[in-house]
């Protein structure tokens, strides 16, 4: 059986999109499950859009997620490298093979001439395609004599090399997710394979590199499906073994409308990047905070991404990266788009936050016994989505109350009950929450005050008004002396301002 080799091949034209992370993740899971090799290849042939820091951003992102590459620019295998397309110099010889065998042709049409042709078609309310019809009216090696072509080349006339798309063919390509996919070649254009500056386009470099690197499976996003017929025909033209293709479902915006995009993220105030990134949209510069900097757990983000198109037979949702490798099944990948549900992401993160050990949450202190430290940790986790949410609850136990959100909630009824609490507090041991609750309840009954009526004021006194943990649990953890101090301070504030 052929060894499984997959690749993630991003273009370093900006920050790595979170959708790209999911594509890499599925490649990684499939490859590791089958004992294969997972490769990072940097497709940097688009020098006009090249961003110098983008490659390091990609590396740092996967380091945060804990996804490792078997081969990469940093960990090359001499047999398959280099791993940056800009360092690979073999493309022209493969372009020449296609030219010699009649699968490609040279085109001298200038940008102005092509724009003029597009305008003329637009006036006829048609879309211009450089294809089997229009190629016969353009300046290329099909319409020009070989002598004229050579003369133009010798004169230094700029040219591109285009693939000669065959006529009247129906291609049927097997996709591991979508089954048989059909294409009619008459609907396809003659794509450029080599640009005027001599560099290969994505299509050409991609196919040559996948072949030379012995890629067995190409797992990529649905947006690359229209490229499949050209890639299939290029393999056919070279008489190379075609890898197996799998085109993943789209990730949709949180509202389910359209592909997950930077523009929507800016408009709606969410992120599409693993790490903080500087981006430009509509000529406006933005800094978009990454999920790492937002405080999300990398394991939670990966877990969330994994299930945007994949499901387990038992509908389990919380699953580690190691478990994903064991459980991954390409047959359970969906064709339907998956909504980037921000509430669901928060839920995933809360589940991972709840797994954090007490020692990572509790501050070094001699204030509380171990059992109370565990209680504080559990109260911190109770409503936390992110680690930083711990601070709100943790501060209640390790800092003094210095202000109140709404001291007016400590009304005349509260003043009566608070005074009774202080006068009678020595009569209870503060052994548990229920004992404390019953003690306060009995005082309210004697005063004819409804228990629920004093709770907002009591929360002001004990927590400064912070909503969150159970109030009786909070008082039990604080203990009798600290509870007494806080109630006294609230009464003093009410009486003296």
Whole-angstrom distance, CA of residue 15 vs CA of residue 17: 6
Asked if 262 is an active-site residue, the reply is yes
Which phi and psi (to 5°) does residue 104 adopt? -145, 165
Distance CA 305, CA 307 (A): 5
How many CB atoms lie under 10 A from the CB of residue 245? 21
Q: Give φ, ψ of 8 to 5 degrees.
A: -115, 125
Phi, psi of 39 (to 5 degrees): -120, 140
Nearest to 259 by CA among 339, 150, 332: 339
Is residue 338 a contact partner of residue 251, using CB atoms and an 8 Å limit? yes
Helical segments of 354-411, H only: 358-361, 370-382, 390-398
Find the helix packing angle between 451-463 and 471-496, rounded to 10°.
80
How far are the Cα atoms of 6, 60, 160, 462 from residue 491, in angstroms, in the given order?
68, 53, 84, 11
**One-character DSSP codes across 127-194:** ----STTGGGGSSBTTTS-HHHHHHHHHTT---EEEE-PPSS-EEEEEETTTEEEEEEGGG----EEE
Query: 139, 3, 132: which is closest to 71 by C-alpha?
Result: 3
Contacts of residue 311, Cβ cutoff 8 Å, sequence gap at least 6: 332, 334
Q: Which of 16, 26, 55 is nearest to 221 (CA)?
A: 26
Q: Please state, in angstroms and rounded to a whole number, the distance separating the CA atoms of residues 341 and 96.
A: 48
Helix (H, G, I), strand (E, B) or coil at 145: coil
Counts of helices then strands in the chain (DSSP H, E): 19, 13
Distance CA 390, CA 91 (A): 55
DSSP letter, residue 267: H
Which of 164, 191, 262, 409 is catalytic? The answer is 262
What's phi and psi for 158, nearest 5 deg? Answer: -65, 145
Residue 415: its H or E element: helix 412-424
Please enumerate in sequence order all residues whose Cβ is within 8 A of that of 443, keeping only pairs 6 or more positions apart, or say none: 417, 420, 421, 424
d(CA 389, CA 379): 11
The answer to whether the beta carbons of residues 140 and 162 sit under 8 Å apart is yes
Q: What residues contact 140, with CB distance under 8 A and at least 6 apart? A: 105, 106, 107, 108, 109, 162
Catalytic positions are 262
């Amino acid at each position: 059986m052929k060894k499984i080799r997959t690749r993630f091949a991003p273009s370093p034209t900006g920050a790595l999109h979170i959708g790209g992370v999911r594509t890499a993740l599925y490649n990684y899971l499939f490859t590791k499950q089958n004992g294969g090799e997972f490769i990072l290849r940097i497709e940097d042939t688009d020098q006009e859009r090249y961003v110098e820091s983008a490659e390091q951003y990609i590396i740092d992102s996967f380091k945060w997620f804990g996804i490792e590459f078997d081969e990469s620019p940093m960990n090359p295998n001499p047999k398959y490298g280099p791993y940056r397309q800009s360092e690979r110099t073999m493309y022209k010889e493969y372009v020449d093979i296609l030219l010699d065998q009649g699968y490609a042709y040279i085109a001298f049409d200038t940008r102005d001439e092509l724009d003029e042709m597009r305008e003329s078609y637009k006036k006829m309310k048609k879309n211009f395609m450089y294809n089997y019809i229009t190629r016969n009216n353009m300046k290329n090696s099909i319409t020009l004599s070989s002598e004229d072509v050579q003369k133009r080349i010798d004169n230094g006339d700029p040219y591109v090399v285009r693939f000669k798309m065959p006529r009247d063919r129906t291609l049927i390509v097997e996709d591991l997710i979508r089954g048989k996919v059909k294409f009619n070649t008459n609907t396809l254009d003659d794509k450029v394979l080599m640009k005027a500056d001599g560099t290969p386009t994505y299509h050409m470099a991609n196919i040559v590199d996948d072949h030379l690197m012995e890629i067995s499976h190409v797992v990529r996003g649905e947006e690359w499906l229209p490229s499949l017929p050209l890639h299939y025909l290029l393999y056919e033209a070279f008489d190379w073994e075609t890898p197996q293709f799998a085109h993943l479902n789209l990730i949709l915006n949180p509202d389910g409308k359209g592909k997950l995009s930077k523009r929507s993220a800016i408009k709606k105030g969410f992120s599409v990047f693993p790490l903080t990134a500087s981006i430009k949209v509509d000529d406006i510069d933005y800094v978009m905070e990454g999920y790492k900097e937002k405080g999300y757990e990398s394991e939670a983000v990966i877990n969330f991404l994994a299930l945007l198109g994949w499901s387990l037979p038992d509908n389990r949702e919380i699953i580690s990266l190691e478990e994903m490798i064991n459980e991954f099944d390409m047959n359970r990948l969906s064709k339907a788009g998956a909504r980037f549900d921000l509430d669901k992401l928060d839920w995933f993160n809360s589940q991972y936050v709840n797994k954090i050990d007490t020692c990572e949450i509790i501050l070094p202190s001699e204030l509380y016994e171990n059992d109370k430290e565990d209680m504080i940790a559990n109260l911190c986790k109770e409503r936390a989505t992110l680690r930083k949410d711990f601070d709100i609850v943790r501060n209640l136990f390790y800092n003094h109350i210095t202000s109140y959100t709404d001291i007016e909630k400590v009304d005349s009824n509260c003043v009566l009950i608070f005074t009774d609490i202080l006068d009678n507090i020595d009569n209870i041991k503060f052994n548990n929450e229920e004992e404390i609750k019953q003690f306060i309840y009995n005082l309210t009954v004697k005063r004819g005050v409804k228990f629920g009526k004093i709770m907002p004021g009591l929360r002001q006194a004990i927590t400064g008004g912070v909503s969150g943990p159970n109030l009786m649990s909070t008082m039990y953890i604080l203990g009798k002396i600290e509870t007494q101090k806080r109630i006294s301070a609230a009464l003093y504030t009410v009486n003296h301002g």
